Amino acid sequence: MIPLNDIKFVLLDMDGTLLDKYFDDYFWEHLVPEKYAEKHHMTFGKAKEELLSKYKVHEGTLNWTDIDFWSKELHLDIPALKEQIKHLIEVHPHVEDFLKMLRRHKKKVYMVTNAHYKVLDIKLKKTEIGKYFDRCITSFEMGYPKEMLEFWNKTEKLLKFDRENTLFIDDTAEILKTAQNFGIKHLLLKTRANSKKHDKPVDGFRVLENFKELLTLS
């Protein structure tokens, strides 16, 4: 499916791609509305409706994953709430096998994530997958979210990857479209980002349901 022998650089998203997005969906759709409802003396349903409209305004921007921004905006301690449920952070099946295989074959492996660096820290401590990466890049470090070409321009200058020999895996089609426009040749859309949900079909990209499919290098 992907010529892994020829690939020199592998760029990997974190949430939904390497890690089960169940944690994030539960956090933003259940725990935060619950705490917001308690704080503002409203029903869970009303709180969730209010929050979903707030989230939508900032989707695709740096604010979207900025937990300091959301702490101020919602008057809740978002990092502390994440710590409370960090036991729900899980790595997708066969991710570690895939990362070990890449290291064995001396590929350059980079994490590229829109996640806030505080969230990255919590998740790397919980999962211990950080040791497999040459570097982790956050959109906050680059000053742009992955949905924008500026992110890719800055990241390419920093990492010096070759677009022709690069594989990028993400669970968001919009981000993959930006990477495609930038010229990254090999792209995969990770499906079953949240192991407890079924995805709506997305046209235009080769899909990866399970990392077991990529364990092709001996």
Check if 6 is active-site: yes
pLDDT tens figures, 32-82: 999 999 999 999 999 999 999 999 999 989 999 999 999 999 999 999 999
Q: Which CATH number fits domain 9-20+90-214: 3.40.50.1000, 3.40.50.1370, 3.40.50.720, 3.30.9.100?
A: 3.40.50.1000
Every domain of the chain and the residues it spans: 9-20+90-214, 23-87
Question: For position 79, what pLDDT does the model report?
Answer: 95
Question: For position 94, what pLDDT does the model report?
Answer: 98
* Predicted structure pTM score: 0.96
pLDDT tens figures, 141-179: 999 999 999 999 999 999 999 999 999 999 999 999 999
**Is the confidence at residue 199, as pLDDT, over 90?**
no
**Is the confidence at residue 201, as pLDDT, over 80?**
no
Q: Find the helix or strand (DSSP H, E) in which 187 lies.
A: strand 186-190
Mean pLDDT of 4-19: 97
Q: What is the DSSP letter of 19?
A: B
Per the prediction, the chain carries an average pLDDT of: 96
In the numeric block, the tokens 């933003």 are attached to 28
45 burial (CB, 10 Å; 0-12 / 13-18 / 19+) is: exposed
